[in-house]
Amino acid sequence: MDYNIAVIEGDGIGPEIIDSALQILTAVGEKFNVSFAFNKLSAGGNAIDSLGTPLPDSTLMACLNSDSVLLGAVGGPKWDGLPGDMRPEKALLSIRKELGLYANLRPARLLPELKDACPLRKEIADEGFDIMIVRELTGGMYFGERGRREGPDGQEAFDTECYSEAEIERIGIIAFELAEKRTGRLISIDKANVLESSRLWREVMHRLALRYPHVEISDMLVDNAAMQLIRNPNQFDVIVTSNMFGDILSDEASQITGSIGLLPSASLGATKRGMYEPIHGSAPDIAGRDMANPIATILSAAMMLRLSFELEEAASLIETAVSRVLAKGLRTADIAEPGTPDTEVLSCSQMTMAVLKEIEV
C-alpha cells in the first residue's frame, strides 16, 4: 500500500522534529511493507518570507490531494508584528477549514516513566491517567456571530455560542466510535444548567447513545470537569466537548502530564484524511540547536497511522518503542529531572536514533 503524506515542516524546531518523524515512518514502513511518499510543502513564516503568504495555493492543493498532512509547527517572533491574516498561524486555520477538519483529538496520557514530572499530588500521579479529549473545532463561540454596539451604559461587545444538531452529531459520532475502541466510557462536557446550546448538545449526545449500546455515556458540567481533571484525572477516558470548553480543558489536561514535548494531536473530518501535529509551538528559543523533543511529532505520526491509515500494529509499534526508550531513562532536556539517577539526556537526533533502535529490534 502507498500513502501520500503532505509534510509541512514549518518554522523554528519544525524541520528538526519532522525529520525525526519521517525517519520513524520510513523505518516502520519498511517493517510493514507500506510505502510513504513525503511531499514537503512550504507554509507558515518561511512561506511568508519566500512567497509572501503563510499558505501558498500550491501547499493547500497538495494537502487536499494528500492522504494526510503531517505538520511540525509554525510561527516565531520574526512574524509576530504582522496583521492577523498574514500571520504564520493563519496557515493552520485555513488548512483546517479547507480540509473540513471539525474534530480535534488530543490524548493526554501520563506515562508511568514520567510521573515525577506530573504537577499533581504523588498519590494521584501514581494512579496515572490516559485521557482522549475530542474537541469540536469549527463551530461554537469562536465562529459565531460577534460584534460591538452602543448600549445604555456605553459600548457593549458580544460573541455567540451557536451549534446545530448536525454539528453536534458529527463530533459525537467521532467520540462514540473512539470510546467503543477504548474502554467504552464517554463523558460529555457542557454547561447545560445555564446555556441553551449546551442543552441541545446534551440532547443530541443522549440520542446518539442509543446507537452505541456498548458505550456508557455520562454528562459533566464544565466547571466540575475543570476541577475533576486535577482531583481525579484517572476517572476520564474519552471526553467530548465544544470548541471553547475543549480549548481550555485540553490545555489543562496537557499541563498535568508535565511534558509539552510529548503530546501529539489529530484533526479529523468526514473523510479519513486528517492533519497531525504536536501540540507545542515552534519553540524559537531552542530552534536549530538539536535540543527539541521529537516525541510529540513521532506520536502524531503514530496517530496518523492508526486513525487515517488503519495501521494499528504499526502505530502501536511506534508507541511501544517510545515507552521503552523512556523506561530506559533516556530523556531530552525538556523532560529530564535534574539530579535523577539512571537517566541520560539526549539531543533530538539521539532520541530519534534511540526510538529507531527499538523499532528495528
Annotated active-site positions, please?
142, 191, 223, 247, 251
User: Least distance to ligand NAD from the beta carbon of 290, Å?
Assistant: 11
Q: Does 346 bind ligand NAD (CB under 6 A)?
A: no
Q: Does 359 bind ligand NAD (CB under 6 A)?
A: no
Q: Does 293 bind ligand NAD (CB under 6 A)?
A: yes
User: Least distance to ligand NAD from the beta carbon of 316, Å?
Assistant: 22
Beta-bridge mates of residue 80: none
- Judged by beta carbon, residue 90 or residue 191, the one nearer ligand NAD is 90
DSSP 78: G
- Computed on alpha carbons and rounded to an integer, the radius of gyration of the chain in Å comes to 21
What's the rounded Cα separation, in Å, for the pair 62 and 71? 13
User: Least distance to ligand NAD from the beta carbon of 24, Å?
Assistant: 15
Q: Does 302 bind ligand NAD (CB under 6 A)?
A: no
Q: Hey, is 163 helix, strand or coil?
A: coil
- Judged by beta carbon, residue 260 or residue 321, the one nearer ligand NAD is 260
The C-alpha cell 484525572 sits at 233
The C-alpha cell 510513504 sits at 36
Q: Does 261 bind ligand NAD (CB under 6 A)?
A: yes
Q: Nearest to ligand NAD by Cβ — which residue?
A: 281
Q: Does 76 bind ligand NAD (CB under 6 A)?
A: yes
Give all strands (DSSP E) within the chain, no chain letters.
Answer: 2-10, 35-41, 68-73, 103-109, 130-136, 146-151, 154-159, 185-190, 216-221, 238-241, 264-268, 274-278, 330-332, 344-346
Window 264-283: residues binding ligand NAD (CB under 6 A): 277, 280-283
- Judged by beta carbon, residue 111 or residue 286, the one nearer ligand NAD is 286
Q: Comparing C-alpha atoms, which of 66, 72, 69, 68 is closest to residue 18?
A: 72
Window 8-67: residues binding ligand NAD (CB under 6 A): 13, 17
Taking the C-alpha atoms of 200, 206, 209 and 214 in order, what is their torsion angle to the nearest 10 degrees?
A: 140
Q: Hey, is 160 helix, strand or coil?
A: coil
Using the CB atoms, write b or e for 99-117: b if 16+ within 10 Å.
bebbbbbbbbbbbebbbeb
In the list 120, 292, 307, 314, the residue contacting ligand NAD (rule: CB under 6 A) is 292
- Judged by beta carbon, residue 216 or residue 247, the one nearer ligand NAD is 247
Strand 35-41, strand 103-109: pairing: unpaired
- Judged by beta carbon, residue 21 or residue 178, the one nearer ligand NAD is 21
Q: Hey, is 25 helix, strand or coil?
A: helix
Window 319-338: residues binding ligand NAD (CB under 6 A): 334
- Judged by beta carbon, residue 91 or residue 205, the one nearer ligand NAD is 91
The site that binds ligand NAD (CB under 6 A) totals a number of residues, namely 22
Window 143-202: residues binding ligand NAD (CB under 6 A): none
Chain residues binding ligand NAD by CB under 6 A are: 13, 17, 73-76, 89, 92, 260-261, 277, 280-286, 292-293, 296, 334
